[in-house]
């Protein structure tokens, strides 16, 4: 029997909705044995690894797509990307490397093409968009 311990809501409101990454609700399940600490699953899929504060992501962590590919790695604050981080598409290609604020691109960063072959923009971002 699997017991649900609580809920973890991770939101990424960056330009991430355009990439199909919706807020993720993760059920915190007991460790089935042999898992590293701070590892959380939903429907038997790895969703998040990292520390929690009052049930939401806080500190350095990793968020995963349904496929198991990493979606985001970096800082979290109140369940949203904060500080330095790297965002990946569903195929594992990096699409953004830089700073986040309240889940949005904010500060210095680099935006890559969908296959990560080309730099589309490098410089400042404000509220999720390149700044002039």
Instruction: Pick the more confident residue, 45 or 28.
Output: 45
pLDDT computed for residue 34 by the predictor: 58
Q: What is the pLDDT of residues 38-95, one digit of tens each?
A: 777 666 677 888 888 877 888 999 998 888 899 999 999 988 999 999 999 999 999 9
Instruction: Pick the more confident residue, 55 or 116.
Output: 116
The domain spans of the chain are: 7-130
Options 3.40.640.10, 2.20.110.10, 3.40.50.300, 3.30.750.24; CATH of 7-130: 2.20.110.10
pLDDT level of residue 32 (50, 70, 90 thresholds): low
CA angle, residues 118, 123, 128, in degrees to nearest 5: 95
Separation between Cα atoms, residue 122 and residue 97, nearest integer Å: 10
């Amino acid at each position: 029997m699997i017991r649900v311990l609580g809920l973890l809501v991770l939101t990424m409101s960056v330009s991430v909705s355009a990439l199909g990454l919706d807020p993720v609700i993760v059920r915190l399940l007991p460790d089935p044995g042999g898992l590293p600490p701070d590892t959380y699953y939903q429907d038997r899929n790895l969703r998040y690894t990292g520390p929690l504060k009052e049930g939401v992501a806080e500190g350095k962590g990793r968020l995963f797509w349904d496929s198991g590919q990493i979606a985001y790695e970096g800082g979290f604050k109140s369940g949203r990307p904060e500080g330095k981080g790297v965002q990946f598409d569903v195929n594992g290609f990096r699409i953004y490397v830089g700073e986040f604020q309240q889940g949005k691109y904010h500060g210095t960063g680099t935006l890559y093409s969908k296959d990560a072959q080309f730099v589309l923009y490098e410089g400042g971002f404000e509220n999720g968009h390149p700044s002039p």
